[in-house]
């Protein structure tokens, strides 16, 4: 598949089929992901891959925790957002909502419980970082995640990055036996998109380049 087509056509999927993804497929994808660049070739990323019944057990636990704690998805900003960022978030909600209405779903519950359930995907990848690294190395994790979603799309699989799981880090580390010195940075659902689900008709729009670039000649 052409790289430009992958970049243009990839989207976050929020409804997956139950069809399993094989370990061999995931090994091939992650084997390519680790070619991502990193500062002085530190390659700081670590992956915990959860599949099958263990993934279902993790999902059940996270959904239960969400219902108890009500920690919701948010951009995680520490200061009020500039108007253009808030506008984009509001537009995404407005555009997504008609698809959720077709499903009889309410936005907040769908997004939050869906995140904790990895939107029903048969597998999840937890991206971890040794806490000996500074926060600057989160950049490398982001680069690896970007490669991950593109490589998966190339092989006909769909993904959705899941940031909310970071709020339940202690529970995830306990369930998956992740050492204390490893930080849970982000997760990603991976599997085959459910073509029958209305939500998978939705793709978030992108602003024009002029809003992101300042040219200095």
CATH number of the domain within which 65 lies: 3.40.109.10
Residue 174 included in any domain: yes
Position 77 scores a pLDDT of 58
Contact 189, 160 (CB under 8 A): yes
d(CA 3, CA 98): 31
User: Mean pLDDT of all residues in the chain?
Assistant: 94
Residue 215 included in any domain: no
d(CA 90, CA 119): 22
Position 159 scores a pLDDT of 98
Residue 212 included in any domain: no
d(CA 155, CA 122): 16
Residue 217 included in any domain: no
pLDDT at 209 over 70: yes
Residue 214 included in any domain: no
Number of domains in the chain: 1
pLDDT at 89 over 90: no
Q: Is 210 exposed, middle or buried (0-12, 13-18, 19+ CB in 10 A)?
A: exposed
State the residue range of the domain holding 185: 3-72+81-202
Edge-to-edge order in the sheet of strand 123-130: 45-51, 123-130, 182-191, 158-162
Residue 213 included in any domain: no
Residue 207 included in any domain: no
Residue 209 included in any domain: no
3-class SS at 184?
Answer: strand
Q: Select the more confidently predicted residue: 56 or 76.
A: 56
């Amino acid at each position: 598949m052409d790289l430009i087509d992958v970049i243009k056509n990839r989207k976050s999927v929020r409804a997956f089929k139950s069809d399993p993804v094989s370990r061999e497929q995931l090994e091939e994808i992650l084997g390519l992901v680790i070619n991502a660049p990193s500062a002085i070739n530190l390659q700081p990323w670590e992956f915990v891959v959860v599949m099958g019944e263990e993934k279902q057990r993790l999902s059940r636990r996270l959904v239960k925790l969400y219902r108890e704690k009500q920690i919701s998805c948010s951009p995680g900003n520490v200061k009020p957002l500039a108007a253009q960022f808030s506008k984009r978030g509001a537009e995404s909600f407005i555009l997504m909502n008609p698809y959720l209405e077709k499903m009889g779903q309410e936005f907040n519950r769908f997004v939050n419980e869906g995140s904790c359930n990895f939107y029903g995907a048969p597998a999840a990848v937890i991206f971890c970082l040794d806490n000996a690294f500074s926060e600057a190395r989160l950049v490398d994790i982001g680069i690896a995640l970007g490669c991950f979603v593109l490589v998966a799309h190339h092989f006909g699989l769909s993904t959705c990055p899941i940031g909310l799981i970071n709020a339940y880090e202690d529970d995830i580390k306990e369930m998956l036996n992740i050492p204390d010195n490893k930080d849970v940075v982000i997760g990603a659902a991976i599997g085959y998109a459910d073509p029958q689900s209305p939500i998978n008709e939705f793709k978030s729009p992108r602003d024009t380049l002029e809003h992101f670039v300042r040219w200095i000649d």
